[in-house]
Structure 1
Amino acid sequence: MTKFPHPPHSLGQLPRRKLAVSATLLAFLSGCAVTPQPDAHVTAPVPPQYADWFDGGQPRPLEWMHKNTVEKAHQLLEEGHSQEAIAELETLMQKGLPKGYYEMAKIFDQGKGVPADPERAARLYAEAIKTPSYILGNASLKLAELYREGRGVERNDVLAYYLLQQATDEEVGPRADAALAELLAEGGQGVNADPELAASLYQRAAEADNEDALVALAKAHGPGGWMKEDPALTQQYAQRYAKRLEQRADGGDVNAMTKLASLYGEDGLLGDQPQRRMQWLTRAADAGESGALSQTGRTLLEGNDPQRGLSMLEQAAEAGDVSAMEALGKALLEGGNGVAHRPDQAQHWLSAAIAQGSVNAKVTLGQALLTGEGLPAHPQRGIELLEQAAGQADGLALALLGAYYLDDEAHASQPLMARDYLERGHELGHPYATQQLGQMYLEGRGVAPDGSRAEQLLSEAAEQGQTAALRLLGEGYLAGEVLPYHPSKAEELLTRAAEAGDASARTALGAGYLDGTLKQRRPSRGVALLEEAAQEGDAYAMVVLGRAYRKGEGVPRDLQKARQWLTRARNAGHPSAEEALAQLRYDQGEAGNIEALVQAAEDGHPGSMATLGEAFLNGRGVQQNLRQARIWLTRAADEGHAGAAADLGRMYLDGHGVPRDPAKGAHYLQRAVGAGHAGARADLGELLLTGRGLPADPERGLRLLEQAAANGNGGARLTLAEVLLEGKHVDQDTQRGLELLRQAADSGDDYAAQLLGATYLEGKGVSPDPQQAETWLSRASEAGNLSARTLLGTALLRGDGGMPTDVERGRRLLEQAAEQGHAGAQATLGRELLRGETLDMDRRQGADYLLAAARQGHETARLALAKAYLTANGLENANREQALLWLDEVMEGDGEMAAQTLHDLLSDEDAMDALRTASAQR
C-alpha cells in the first residue's frame, strides 16, 4: 500500500499531527492502495521504484529486539572499535530490522571511525525506510538531506520533498520543519516555491529554538532576503541563534565556537566585532581542534599577530588539517606582513596538502612554479599541477592556464588554446577567466573582434569584482574601435576602477583628462592621477607624463621634467621609454642640445639613429645635411629600424641627397614592409603597380595598398582609390574606388573630398553629377583645401561638368584661393580677366595674376606670357625656350619693374591677342 503525503497548510497555527491518517487507515483496513493525491508543490509524483519508501503500514514495536545491540554498538564506537560496532549492527540488518540499517547508515554518513561513504549511507537509509518503524521519520530526513545535497546520490529535489514531507508526517520535529522550509523558501528542481508555507515552517521550528530556523529567519529578514526586510527581526533571531550557540560553546562544543566567531565577522549577522570574533576563535583554538586552529591562525596571520597565527597554522597542519597546510604554504611562499619568505617550507606544506587531495594547493604551487614568483621557475611542473586542478573543475586554474597561453613575452602565445581554457573557466563562473575572455574579444586575439561579446563578458566580470574589467571596458569605450566611442561611460568606468585601486585605470583616466579624449579636459586632475599611478609603480604613467612635458600638452613644456619621468620609466622597464627618450633628445636638439641626440645615436640606439637621420634629412634642429642623413638612416636601417628603411627608400626613389636608384629604393621599402611599416607598404604597393624600380606585380601591389589602407594609412587609401577609379595597372572598380574616397572624406580627409568632387565633375568612371561634385568640393573647400576651392570656383565660373554657373560665387572662391597663394587660382583669374568673357576685362589685374602664377612656376601662365613676348617682338616662330628664359630674367628682377615690363608688353595689341589665345588653351 502506498501513501502519498499531503502538503501541510498553516502549520504554524495547527497542532502537530500526522497528515492523511484516516485515508491510510481506510486503505489498510480495505487492503487497497491509497490513490495519489495531487500536490501543487511538485511537478511529478513519487517515482515507482521508490514507492515502497512511502508504504503506509503500521509500525511494529521492535525496539525490544535491538535495544541492547544498538547500545553496545554505540559504546564500541565511542571506544574506537568501529569494526566491532559494525559487526553488531550487521546482526540486526540480517534480521531485517530498520534500526540496524539506520544506525549503520549514520556511521558511513558521518564517517564515524571509517571513511565517509555517502553512497553506501544512502542505500542503508533507503533500506531503513522500507519497513514502517519508529525511525521512519529520522531516516527519511537523513536520506532527504543526501538527495538535496547530491551527496552519494544524484540530486533529486522532488524525491527530497516527498521524504521531508514524510519526516514531518512522522513528527520528527523542528529539524524536519526547517529542512522542508529551506526547500520551499525558494523552490528547487521540480519543486515550486511556497514562501508563505516556508515561513510558517521556519517559525514553528524557531519556536523550538532550532538553530537552522533561527539563522534562516535572520537572513530572510535581512537585506536581499526573501521575506520583508526587518532589521529588528533579523537582530532578534540572530541574538537567539547566538544564545543557543553560546550554550553549546559553554559545554565545550568547538563547532559552536567557530560559528559564533563567524557571527561577529565582517559579513556576520551581528556585525563586525573583531574582539568578540577573536575571543571565540581563540577559545576554539585553545580546545585543540585543528579546524579552529586553522581558522584562528588565518585570522591572526592577516591581523596584528602574524607570528602567533603562523604558530597555530603549523600546529593545525601537523595535526593533518589540509586548509592549514594550504594557508601555511601560501603565507611562507609570499612572505611579508611579518612572515619571512621560506620557499622550501612553503613547497613542503603545499605538497603535503596536494597529497591530501587539495586543489587549492595545486593551484597555489602550480602558479608559483609557472611564474617563478616565490619559487624557482619550473613551468612544466607548474602546468602539470594547474592541469590537474583544471581537470577537477577549478576555475582559477583554468584562468591561469589561459593567461599563460596568452602571454607572448616568455614564449610563443597560443590564443586558441588559451580561449579553450578561458571558455571553460568562464562556464564555471570564475571572474578572472571571464575578464580575460572578454579582453580577447575586445582585442581580437585568437578570435574575431566582437564588441557585443566583449561588452557582455567584461560587464559580467566587473559585476563579480574584477576591477581590471572595469578598466578594459572604459578603455574600449574611449578608443571607440571595437566598442562604440562613449567618453562619458569611459570616464565613469575608469573612475570606478581607479577608486578600486587599479593603477592602470588611473593612468588611462589621467591621460584622458590630459589630452582631452574624455568629455572634458582637466589637465591638473590628469597630472595628479598620473603622478599617483606613477608613485604606485605604473611605468606607463611615467611615459605619459614624460611625453606630456615633452610636448607641452596639458602642462607647460618642460624638457627637464620630461627627461626625469622618461628616465624613471626606462629604469622601470617600460618598452616605449627608450624611444620616447630618443624623441626627447631630438626635441632637445631642436632646442639647441643636439649633442644629446647625437650621443644617444652614437651609443647605438636605433631609434636615436633614425631620429638623428630624420633631423639631418629635414633640417630640424640641425642644418640640413643629406649626406649625414643617409649615414645615420643607413645605420638605423641596418639595425632593423623600419622607419629609417622607409626614409632611405624614398630618398633613393626621388634621388634626394643620393643618386636616384629606384631598385635600391624598392629594396629599402621591402625591408621596411618586412618590419611592419605601414607607410612603406603603401609606397611599395604603388611601385609594384607601376613597375618602377622593380618588376611590376600589380596583384601584390594592390594587396599591399589594401593592407596599408586597412591599417589606416590615408595615402594608401587615396592611391588605391585613384587607381581603381582610373583602372590603371589594375581592373577598374569604380564603386570600390568611390567607397574608399567616401570613407576617407567622411573621416575628415579634405583631399579625398576634392578627388570625389573632381570625379563627379569630370565624369571619371561615373556619369557627371554636378550636384555631387559641388557637395564634395564645397566640403573640401570649407576645410581649407585651396585646390578644391579653385576647382569649384572655376566650374562655377565656366559651368564645367554641367554645373550651373554662378559667376559671383566662382570669382569669390578663386580670389580667396589666389590671395592665399594658389597658383592655379591666380592663373585662372588672370586668363579670365584678360579674356573678358565671363569676367569684365581688366588687363592690368589679369597680368598681375598671371605674373604671380608664373612666379610660382605655373606652366600655363609661364607659356602664355612667353607667347605674348614672342608675338610683341615679331618672333612668333622663335624658340619658345628663349622666351621662357627672358621671362625668368624678368621675374628674377625687381618686382615692380617686372610688373611694369609685363604691363608695357600687354599694351601691344598683337601681344595681347596672343596672350588671350594662349590663355584660352588651358
Structure 2
Amino acid sequence: MINSLMKNWRDLGERTILGTVKTLLSAALFAAASVTFAVPNAHAAPRDIEQAEKLIWGSDGQLDPENGKLILEKAAAEGDWVAKRVLGLHLIFGWVLNQDVAAGMKMLDEAADAGDAAAQTALASIYLWGLAGETNLEAARKNLEGASKLGDPEAMRILGEQLVLGEKFEQDLDVGLSYLKQGISLNDPKSAVTLGELYLFGRGVPRDRSKAREAVETAATLGDGHGLVKYGEDTMWREINATAAEKMLLRAADMGATEAYAILAEGAMYGYLGGGSVSRRKYAGYAEKATEAEDGRVPLLEAERSMWGIGKRASGPAALAGLTLAADKGNELAAMYLIALQRDGNRYNVRRSISDAQDSLEKYGHLLSDKQKAQYAMTIDASKARTPAAYAPVAEAFEERTELRSVWFGREIFKANPNVAFYILQKRLKAQGLYAGALNGYATRQTLRAVFKSCMAELDRSLCNDNVMRREVIGGLLALD
C-alpha cells in the first residue's frame, strides 16, 4: 500500500492549532451558545454577541475589533457567561484581539463554573491538548464530564474517544463507547464519525469494518459525509473495491466533504482507481475539483508527481519550484512540505539543504503558528546533529517543550534524524528500567527490544507486531508524556 500523502497530513489539529480552535469556536461553541442564551444568567441578547463577533472578524464588511471587544466586555461585566466564553477564547488565542492568556482563562473558567457547557468543553480541550500551555488532564476530565451531564455532544465525543483510546485517560471501553453512542442518540454526526473511525482503524477496539460502515452511514444520514471519506479512502488504499471506494468518496464530496477530491486525485495518480492508465487519466479532473474546493494539498500532489516522474518527467527542482510558488501564494501546507523536503531531501533528485530549510522557515513563518515554527526549528536542529553529544541538547529541548508534542511532531523528528529519535527513547526507556544499554541513538537489538516493550504497553499493539521502526510507532512513543 502506498504511504499516502493524505495520511501523512490527515490530522489538521496536529498541523494547525489556529484551525483546531477556530473550528471549535465556530462549530461546537456557538452551537451550544444557542442553548445557553435561554438561561437566566446569560444577559446579552444573541444579536449583541453576534454583532460583536462580526465587528471582531470583519464579516459583513464591518471591521471594528475594539468596538466588538467593548460589547463583549460590557456583557461579561454584567455576568453574561456566553460573552465571557467568546471573549475568553479570543484573549487566549489572540486571533484578532491582543492576546492575554491569563485574562482569557479567567473568563473561560468563570463561564464554565457558571454552567456553560460550551465553555466547559472549550476549557477541557485547552487542558487536554495543552493549547494554552501545560496540559491538565484532571481539569480536562472534570470539565468534559460536567459538559456531558449538561448534554453537550461535543464533550461526550471527546471524552468517549479518549476513554476508548486510553491515551489521555485510563481506558474504559464500555464507558467510552456509551458516551459516543449517547452523542449519536442526540443526533451528533461527529460522534458517529469518531465511532466509525475507531472501528475502521481498530483504535482501542477490535477492527470491525461492518460496525465502521454502520457508524459512518449514520453520520451521513445526519448530514456529515466526513466518515464516508475515511471509509472510502481506506477501501481505496486497501484495494478492497476501487469502484465502491470511488463512488463513496464522490458521494461524500457531494455532501460537502470536499477533501475527498484530493484523496481521489492521489488515488488516481498512484493507480488505485482502476489501475494503470485508466486510473491516472482521472487525476486531472479530481485535482481540478480539489483546487476549485480550495484544497491546499494539490500542490503537494504536484510536487510528488514532479519528484517521482508520475505522468511527467521527474524533476526535483520542478517540485521545489512548485511548492515555493504555492507557499508564496500563502499555502501553509506547501510551506510545511517545502521546509521538510529541504531539510531531509528525497535521496533521488532533491538534495538535503539545512540552510534552505532554515531560510524557508524564516520566509514562510508568518503562515505558521508559533507552535509549528518551534516544531520545525527543533526538527532542523535534530537534522544538524551528527553525534551522541549533539543529540543530547536536542533531546533535552524536546523533553522540556512538552507543549510541542504530538504524533505528527514525533514522526517529523524521526524523519529529520532517526538517531535523535532513538536517543530520546533510549534516555526515557533507561529511566523506566526498560533499557540498560548506551545512550548513542543507534537502533541496536537491545534498543529495539525495549522500544517493542514500550510500544506493547503504551500503543495499539497491532502497530508493534509489524515493525517498531515505523514512523507511526516512533512518533506515537515520542508523543507520550
**Residue equivalent to 2:260:** 608
**Residue equivalent to 1:5:** none
**Residue equivalent to 1:521:** 171
Unpaired runs of 5+ in structure 2?
1-30, 32-40, 430-436, 450-481
Inter-CA distance 515–672: structure 2 relative to 1 (3 Å threshold): farther
3-state SS in 1 of match to 2:169: coil
Inter-CA distance 442–538: structure 2 relative to 1 (3 Å threshold): farther
Which one has the largest radius of gyration?
1
Matched-pair contact (CA < 8 Å) for 2:75–2:83: yes
**Residue equivalent to 2:474:** none
3-state SS in 1 of match to 2:364: helix
Q: Separation in 2 of the partners of 1:745 and 1:409? A: 40
Output the TM-score relative to the length of structure 2: 0.61
Matched-pair contact (CA < 8 Å) for 2:232–2:249: no
**Residue equivalent to 2:228:** 581
Q: Separation in 2 of the partners of 1:561 and 1:410? A: 42
Deviation string, structure 1 residues 443-490 (Cα, Å, up to 9, x no partner): 433235544323321222233332332222222221222153122222
Deviation string, structure 1 residues 390-424 (Cα, Å, up to 9, x no partner): xxxx9733664233443679857855443221111
Answering whether residue 187 of structure 2 is matched by residue 533 of structure 1, we say no
3-state SS in 2 of match to 1:681: helix
Q: Separation in 1 of the partners of 2:82 and 2:263? A: 42
Residues 248-647 of structure 1 mapped to structure 2, 5 A cutoff: 396-397=43-44, 400-406=47-53, 411=60, 416-482=66-132, 484-573=134-223, 577-589=224-236, 590=238, 592-600=240-248, 606-615=258-267, 627=280, 631=284, 634-639=287-292, 640-647=294-301
Amino acid at match of 1:548: L
Matched-pair contact (CA < 8 Å) for 1:709–1:717: no
**Residue equivalent to 2:3:** none
Inter-CA distance 481–500: structure 2 relative to 1 (3 Å threshold): same
Q: Separation in 2 of the partners of 1:412 and 1:513? A: 44
> RMSD between aligned alpha carbons?
4.9
**Residue equivalent to 2:363:** 703
Amino acid at match of 1:477: Y
Task: Please state how far the C-alpha of 1:657 moved relative to its aligned partner.
Answer: 5.2
Q: Separation in 2 of the partners of 1:419 and 1:645? A: 38
Amino acid at match of 2:381: A
Q: Separation in 2 of the partners of 1:679 and 1:435? A: 30
Q: Separation in 1 of the partners of 2:372 and 2:110? A: 32
Q: Separation in 2 of the partners of 1:652 and 1:599? A: 28
Matched-pair contact (CA < 8 Å) for 2:49–2:72: yes
Deviation string, structure 1 residues 423-442 (Cα, Å, up to 9, x no partner): 11112222222222223234
Residues 647-666 of structure 1 mapped to structure 2, 5 A cutoff: 647-656=301-310, 658-662=312-316, 664-666=318-320
Inter-CA distance 543–471: structure 2 relative to 1 (3 Å threshold): same
**Residue equivalent to 2:372:** 712
Q: Separation in 1 of the partners of 2:98 and 2:249? A: 41
Q: Percent identity?
A: 18
Which structure carries more relative contact order (alpha carbon 8 Å, separation 6+)? 2
Inter-CA distance 459–701: structure 2 relative to 1 (3 Å threshold): closer
Matched-pair contact (CA < 8 Å) for 1:725–1:738: no
Deviation string, structure 1 residues 55-107 (Cα, Å, up to 9, x no partner): xxxxxxxxxxxxxxxxxxxxxxxxxxxxxxxxxxxxxxxxxxxxxxxxxxxxx
Unpaired runs of 5+ in structure 1?
1-370, 372-393, 727-734, 759-774, 785-807, 821-922
Inter-CA distance 557–620: structure 2 relative to 1 (3 Å threshold): farther
Q: Separation in 1 of the partners of 2:70 and 2:134? A: 27
Matched-pair contact (CA < 8 Å) for 2:92–2:102: no
Inter-CA distance 718–698: structure 2 relative to 1 (3 Å threshold): closer
Matched-pair contact (CA < 8 Å) for 2:327–2:364: no
2:336 aligned residue (677, 682, 688): 682
Q: Separation in 2 of the partners of 1:620 and 1:783? A: 41
Matched-pair contact (CA < 8 Å) for 2:189–2:222: yes
Matched-pair contact (CA < 8 Å) for 1:539–1:572: yes
**Residue equivalent to 2:323:** 669
Matched-pair contact (CA < 8 Å) for 1:451–1:483: no
Inter-CA distance 656–721: structure 2 relative to 1 (3 Å threshold): farther
3-state SS in 2 of match to 1:397: coil
Task: Please state how far the C-alpha of 1:652 moved relative to its aligned partner.
Answer: 0.5
Q: Separation in 1 of the partners of 2:133 and 2:439? A: 44
Q: Separation in 1 of the partners of 2:244 and 2:447? A: 44
Q: Separation in 2 of the partners of 1:499 and 1:745? A: 36
Inter-CA distance 413–498: structure 2 relative to 1 (3 Å threshold): farther
Paired residue total: 374
Q: Separation in 1 of the partners of 2:216 and 2:244? A: 14
Matched-pair contact (CA < 8 Å) for 1:398–1:422: no
Q: Separation in 1 of the partners of 2:443 and 2:134? A: 41
Q: Separation in 1 of the partners of 2:266 and 2:298? A: 8
Q: Separation in 2 of the partners of 1:567 and 1:483? A: 38
Inter-CA distance 539–713: structure 2 relative to 1 (3 Å threshold): farther
Q: Separation in 2 of the partners of 1:413 and 1:552? A: 48
3-state SS in 2 of match to 1:642: coil
Q: Separation in 1 of the partners of 2:230 and 2:66? A: 38
Output the TM-score relative to the length of structure 1: 0.34
Q: Separation in 1 of the partners of 2:324 and 2:188? A: 37
